[in-house]
Amino acid sequence: MSAEFWRPLRELTYDDVESLRTAGDREKAILDYKRFAKNFAIDGEALATDFVAFANSGGGRIVFGAVEENERLKEFSGVPAEKLRMVSMSIRNTAHRVQPPVDIDVRDVDLPAGGYIVVVEIVPGQLGPFQFQGKYGQRAGSGNVPMPHTNVVNAVMATSGRKGDGPGNSPFGAFSLAKSPFSSLPTYWCLGVQLRPAYSVARPIYDPLSKSVKSIEEWLHGHGYKPEDVKRRLTALYATHNTGWLLELSQYGWTTAIDSSDPKSDPVQLEAIRLGSERMIRDCAACLDAIEPFFNVFVSLKFWGPANANIGLQWAEGRSRQVTTLPLRFDAPQIGVDRPYRVRDLIAEDAQREVADRFCESLKLFVQP
């Protein structure tokens, strides 16, 4: 898959779109190619159906001006400058024909030989379900299919606040010690990281028989994990860790990593929490990236322990490297990053460090008198 194409839409260049052709990327659930008609008119009904399917399936991108062959991008045939405004307006107007209207972003990319291709992003995280002329649809492979009635019902329930696989239904989602894999170790402290899809309509993405899940298992084996269960959800233990490190990918994309900490190591070094958080974010993002790199996710982190317990938290202050040790109470808050991150962006070390730094700064504020 071309990583360059999935950079933020506002930064997209011709070279990024061209990378789809050189990489041989096929159409898929999150990507569609469309050739312009001879008169550059947009088929509003067909496009509205596409918008419905993408919006009900977590978002994606459509490349207009792409000539395909066997679902692969062969070449580009752009729209001339004098027709570009008409095309863009038609695309935007079509988004408002869907009920409820679909939120889209449009990017015009100029071609070296002249003309423009148009890339449309159906923004993830929208409240649905979406329909056009009374018909609900969703993506399946490289095409659209009718949305099963049960999926429509689940989407309506999710929109009204009843999610099919939220934190309350994930054994690790609430970051509560009673629900953690270390609940039998009441004297242990735990560090947890969770990636939660930013869209409100729950959509199953985990298929234990898919090639992407096989690639996740291979990645986990190569990074010290031992997959324990791959049926309804994937769980894996970090085999070489001395206390226990568990990672879980749920059916609906909630991805969580939790590690326990021996309280005898009091005080805990804030830098160790920072490094552990970065690695957990990396591992969770790597699992999701194999399935849905286009997903936007919220990141939550927490360091917590048994009731009525305190543990020292230590870090260096200033150039003099003075060390501060303050008690961290068991009820330290869950820190949630206030903006979603694209899964593919979280693969980058800078993004992992940014989130971990914000978490550690929040912990310092929490423990300071």
Beta bridge partners of 63: 33, 119
State whether 106 and 191 are in the same domain: no
Q: Do 30 and 134 belong to one domain? A: yes
39-91: pLDDT as tens digits: 999 999 999 999 999 988 878 899 999 998 887 888 999 999 999 999 999 99
Separation between Cα atoms, residue 270 and residue 325, nearest integer Å: 10
Which of these three, 159, 186, 217, is where a domain ends?
A: 159
Question: Which is more confidently placed, 34 or 156?
Answer: 34
> Same structural domain for residues 351 and 238?
yes
Measure CA of the first residue to CA of the last residue in the chain; give whole Å: 49
**CATH code for the domain in which residue 10 is found:** 3.30.950.30
Looking at the structure, tell me whether residues 17 and 140 fall in a common domain: yes
191 shares its domain with 220: yes
**Could you give the C-alpha distances from 140 to 42, 78, 346, in angstroms and in order?**
23, 27, 26
pLDDT score for 221? 86
Q: Which of 9-18, 140-149, 299-308, 322-331 is predicted with the least confidence, judged by mean pLDDT?
A: 322-331
Distance separating alpha carbons of residues 234 and 230, to the nearest angstrom: 4
Report the distance separating Cα 213 and Cα 234, nearest Å.
9
Q: Is the pLDDT of residue 242 over 80?
A: no
Model pLDDT, residue 126 = 72
Evaluate the CA torsion angle 61, 66, 72, 75 in order and state its sign: negative
Whole-number pLDDT of residue 188: 66
Judge if 251 and 353 occupy the same domain. Answer: yes
pTM of the predicted model, to two decimals? 0.58
Range in 6-10, 124-128, 235-239 the model is least confident about: 124-128
Residue-level pLDDT at 179: 41
Band (333; pLDDT cuts 50, 70, 90): low
* 284-289: average pLDDT: 91
357 close to 364: Cβ distance less than 8 angstroms: no
Structure-model confidence comparison of residues 172 and 349, the more confident one = 349
Q: Across the chain, what does the average pLDDT equal?
A: 80
The pLDDT, as a whole number, for residue 353 is 92
Same domain, 312 and 187: yes
Percentage with pLDDT > 70 across the chain: 79
Measured in degrees and rounded to the nearest 5, phi and psi for residue 32 equal -140, 140
Number of domains in the chain: 2
What integer pLDDT is reported at residue 174 of this predicted model?
A: 41
Is 358 found in the same domain as 303?
Answer: yes
Per the model's pLDDT, the better-predicted residue between 171 and 281 turns out to be 281
Query: Which residue, 107, 140, 159, sits at the end of a domain?
Result: 159
pLDDT band at 326 (very low <50, low <70, confident <90, very high): confident
190 and 265 fall within a common domain: yes
206 and 259 housed in the same domain:
yes
CA 323 to chain centre: 37
Bigger pLDDT: 76 or 258?
Answer: 76
Cα 325 from Cα 46, distance rounded (Å):
63
Residue predicted with more confidence, 180 or 62: 62
Q: Convert 55-81 to b/e letters by CB count within 10 Å (16 or more is b).
A: bbbbbbbbbbbbebeeeebeebebbee
| Whole-Å CA distances, 95 to 34, 66, 99, 129, 175 | 16, 20, 9, 14, 38
User: Is residue 78 located within the same domain as residue 212?
Assistant: no
Contact 213, 230 (CB under 8 A): yes
Q: Does 255 have pLDDT greater than 70?
A: yes
Nearest to 332 by CA among 285, 254, 262, 273: 273
Range of the domain at 129: 4-159
Residues in Cβ contact with 309 at an 8 Å cutoff, skipping those fewer than 6 apart: 187, 189, 263, 329, 330
Q: What is the pLDDT of residue 199?
A: 66
Co-location of 32 and 62 in the same domain:
yes
Structure tokens at 169: 């239904």
Measure the CA angle with vertex 315, ends 179 and 193; round to 5°. Answer: 25
How would residue 319 be classed by pLDDT, with cut points 50, 70 and 90? low
- Single out the residue in 159, 193, 210 at which a domain terminates: 159
Residue 347 token pair? 């693969």
